[in-house]
A and B are shown apart, each in its own frame.
Chain A
């Protein structure tokens, strides 16, 4: 095994983040597709309802309380990229205002699940990959 390959296989596994995105319901699919582009293999769209008071809603010119809540699991470096892009889209997309944040994930069970969530089918950069050689 050459040196660079060995080093690659011994880097620490990448961290995962849970990205929570709340947008208007009709924009749910648009944002889910956008986030999928950052390597999110597992996403769930939940139907939620905003609770802002009517005064606040009128002040912001919002009429619709129905929301889509998108939960996505992303590698941490992709999560920050996705957040930057989302922040831009929230400003520019018509009727695309929203809020998004990330929560660090501590653990997952199963190598296959981890590879799936981290969008890493070869398991590159994971310790266990060395054992299969």
Chain B
């Protein structure tokens, strides 16, 4: 089943939501909503992957048309992916109905 919209959720370190929205906007997104969140990855994971995990996160929720979803996800990957200081992950969920555009 083809959906007209997708909800993209991007979780980044605190302070990087602007970078996320700039990248998303450049890829065609119109707006998003930012929420404060706390990451819970354990100490073992930090040792295992030899990384440091900052618990303060920002969660950015962006509603996009399905035709620009891949473009936005790719923009987020390059601008705020795990390889950047934002240490972001992003994923998309199918949206089956929308009100209020």
A83 partner residues in chain B, CB cutoff 8 A: 97-99
A69 contacts partner chain B, Cβ-Cβ < 8 Å = yes
Contact of A101 among B35, B36, B60, B98 (CB under 8 A): B98
Q: A107 vs B96: C-alpha distance in the bound complex, in angstroms? A: 17
Q: A90 vs B30: C-alpha distance in the bound complex, in angstroms? A: 19
Residues 65 to 87 of chain A near chain B (Cβ within 8 Å): 67, 69, 79-80, 83-84, 86-87
Residues 23 to 60 of chain B near chain A (Cβ within 8 Å): 30-36, 60
Number of interface residues of A (CB under 8 A): 28
Q: Are B35 and A99 in contact (CB under 8 A)?
A: no
Q: A46 vs B61: C-alpha distance in the bound complex, in angstroms? A: 12
Contact of B21 among A17, A20, A51, A104 (CB under 8 A): A51
B98 partner residues in chain A, CB cutoff 8 A: 83, 99-101
Binding site for B on A (CB under 8 A): 17, 20, 22, 46-52, 56, 67, 69, 79-80, 83-84, 86-87, 90, 97-104
Can you spell out 24 A-B residue pairs with CB atoms less than 8 angstroms apart?
A46-B35, A47-B35, A49-B33, A49-B35, A50-B33, A51-B17, A51-B32, A52-B31, A56-B31, A69-B35, A69-B61, A80-B97, A84-B99, A98-B100, A99-B99, A99-B100, A100-B98, A100-B99, A101-B5, A101-B63, A101-B95, A101-B97, A103-B7, A103-B93
Binding site for A on B (CB under 8 A): 5, 7, 17-18, 21, 30-36, 60-61, 63, 93-101
